Chain A
Amino acid sequence: MVKKIKNLKEFSLSNDRFEGANLMCPGCSHNIIVREVLNATDDPIIVATATGCLEVCTAVYPKTSWDVSWIHIGFENAAVAAATVSAAYEVMKKKGKLPPATQKMVDEGREPKIVAFAGDGGTYDIGFQSLSGAFERGHNFMYVCLDNEVYANTGGQRSSSTPIGASTTTSPAGSVSYGEKMMKKSMVEIMADHGAPYVAQVSPSKWKDLVKKVQKGFEVNGPVYINAQSACTTEWKHAPEDTIEVSDLGVDSCVWPLYEIINERDEHGIIYSTKLNITYRPKKKIPVEEYLAAQPRFRHLFKPENRHIIDLWQKAVDARWEYLQKREEAGV
């Protein structure tokens, strides 16, 4: 059932099934994203979480922040965990052996939503195989990547989502280095090319856009991938109170474009059409430099010898924005 949401005030007063009083850093985007995803529906939710900040901060025995069925197994298997819970649900539904209370909700049209949360390490890197397999098999679940572009839980090491020029603890800037050497990979397109019926990129600062996409994702049948920008106050090194502002800078500079890719497909994974929609267009596209300047992880780029990396950044973002617009125009 699609939940009707009128305004932020009402949304923010939703009955939380994720307890805010957890161990995450002040200003952490993960909290905001998880609340927005969970509050997008009133249907029952089952969550699988990869090892990472979210997991270690929300389920430390004997406490839990989760008022939904929740599982954590390991770092690299959140996708298969969620996918197999989904398969188990389908089997028990078919056999007529769901727990009675669950069966009642299903009868009322409130099917459980199965959601995996993982960081970029658990998604782009170590969990990629499991994610790819689960999407290929077509299980009915939503996978949300909390993308803070770094291994934050283990102290800020680079991942394959870390963008060029970022200083991390394993790609530190130094007298002869400007930090990370490679631009991050395009996870949204990679997952869309798996044939997923719905794939989207979101930012917690654009909450309406996020919730709308999550609701769309809950309505389709098959694997859904949501790539969520998760500004990390600790590793991006901005002030905790600046999280939303930094997120907005990412969106308005088009470093973090908000868009969706819809694959019209059948249950066999055969795709009949693909459509990319840009869901947010900045009124004024701000220079990437402003986004970088707001985050001390890029501070060294403003030294004269590293300025060329800022130029590269702008080129990369412009090219990507151009690419997305062309795809949208072409309807592919």
Chain B
Amino acid sequence: MAKKYELNEVEVWDGNMAAAHALRQAEVDILAAYPITPSTPIVQNYSKFLADGYVDGEFIMVESEHSAMSGCVAASAAGVRAATATSSQGFALMVEVLYQASGMRLPIVLTVVNRALAAPLNVNGDHSDMYLGRDAGWINLCSYNPQEAYDLTLMAFKIGEDLNVRLPVMVHQDGFICSHTAQNVRPLQDEEAREFIGEYKPVNSMLDVANPVTHGVQTEEDWHFEHKARQHNDLMNSFGTIKDVFAEFKDRTGREYDLVYTYKMDDADVAIFALGTTVESARIAADQMREKGVKAGVISLRVLRPFPFKEIQEALSNVKAVAAMDRSAPGGTFGALFNEISAALLTAGKRPVVLNYIYGLGGRDTTITMLKEVYEDLDKCAKAGEPVVPLQQFLGLRGPKLSFY
């Protein structure tokens, strides 16, 4: 039996330590992982917990991220709780198996510490890896600080393992800005966390050898489409479980989560729509703009997948101009957030100005000043009732301005 870890009411943890403690408290049976900056400390912390007797499960340090996720798939199919952590190139190497995990309906938890994708090689934070995996059929939860990285990792198990869901869950946190930034974190005690997540409920366990089961079949044209449709259907319908888990978590901790995160959006004319730590920095910029008389708000996705389409439509229903902030090189088009927000607005019959900012690539600092510049652009467009700045701009780029359309 694992030892109880003595925790203070307030700990000062970086995002990696926060995620590691959540994995420990979830009593993961198999954690298979491979090191990569900046997520490495998650598994280092976890192995230290194991070495000190705080973990009963097994930590398998495999030879690649491909094997890390493959191991998680096999362990989960065997009927045990499985999790891992990765970033960037490691995430890219996992991508093949991410689709296998979701297609096989295995509730694995993956803590992703977001980092740029090479080339050029860069270890710092951006959302390239998050965007690479967004269509992989996983539930994607987004955190903005270490506390949320902890909370959402705990909740990820409960959401994914719900028998109506049975899907793998990623929890994203920004590389370095969250993962290596220590802040106040209020953890649950071990027994509270255990009680919240609950016992793992095996489904079609391979270890139940008296009831043989075939995992990972082939489907021909006759069945593949139906499988993928059902998978999509269950992912789309996971909102209910996600909301239930958020509600139960609020009851226990007082900390409130919703599908969409909003700050001062009720009367906002202009809004920054961002992901990750930028969401919180944008709140400071919004407050400063409000002092200057600009009704500024902030909006974000707590749940990137399934995409809360209706809630986005509602939250943006009175906005005159919104900036979609994409922290990933869009590779020849607009950023993904821009496209998804635009689709939500268009089908709602709303036509606010939508701008696209590509920012923060490879860890480029996103300052309050820069975010206020975005609000200034939005304010101009809102007043003009049409775009008066380019639709796509690169924010914080050195040298001549780069923009399109």
Contact = CB atoms under 8 A, between A and B. Distances in A.
Direct contact of A and B (CB under 8 A): yes
B70 A61 contact: no
B241 interface: no
B67 A85 contact: no
B121 interface: no
B66 to A, nearest CB: 7
Nearest to B224: A61
Interface string A68-102: 11111110110011111101111110110011011
A85 B209 contact: no
Identify which of B56, B63, B71, B97 gathers the most chain A CB atoms within 10 Å of its CB. Answer: B71
A48 B78 CA distance: 11
Nearest to A112: B209
B20 interface: no
Interface stretch (A130-138, A197-205, A248-256, A285-293): A130-138
A69 B32 contact: no
Contact of A84 (B56, B60, B215, B223): B60
A37 to B, nearest CB: 16
Contacts of A190: none
Contact of A129 (B63, B207, B218): B63
Interface string B191-218: 0000000000010011111111111111
A46 B215 contact: no
B100 A74 contact: yes
Interface string B18-56: 000000000001101000000000000000000000001
Contacts, number: 168
A66 B214 contact: yes
A64 interface: yes
A59 interface: yes
Contact of A92 (B72, B74, B80, B219): B80
A106 to B, nearest CB: 10
B215 A72 contact: yes
Contacts of B391: none
B101 to A, nearest CB: 9
Given A82-B74, A99-B205, A76 B66 contact: yes
A105 interface: yes
B266 interface: no
Contact of A99 (B29, B72, B79, B218): B79
B77 interface: yes
A105 B63 CA distance: 33
Contacts of A91: 29-30, 56-58, 80
A55 interface: yes
Contacts of B211: 101
B73 interface: yes
B74 A84 contact: yes
A158 B218 CA distance: 24
Contacts of B63: 129-130, 132-133, 136
Interface of A: 17, 44-46, 48, 55-56, 59-62, 64, 66-74, 76-77, 80-85, 87-92, 94-95, 98-99, 101-102, 105, 112, 129-130, 132-134, 136-137
17 contacts: A44-B210, A55-B218, A69-B209, A70-B212, A72-B217, A73-B70, A80-B70, A81-B74, A82-B74, A84-B71, A85-B78, A87-B71, A91-B56, A99-B208, A129-B63, A130-B67, A133-B67
Given A69-B212, A73-B104, A82-B74, 6 more contacts: A44-B209, A44-B210, A88-B74, A95-B56, A129-B64, A133-B63
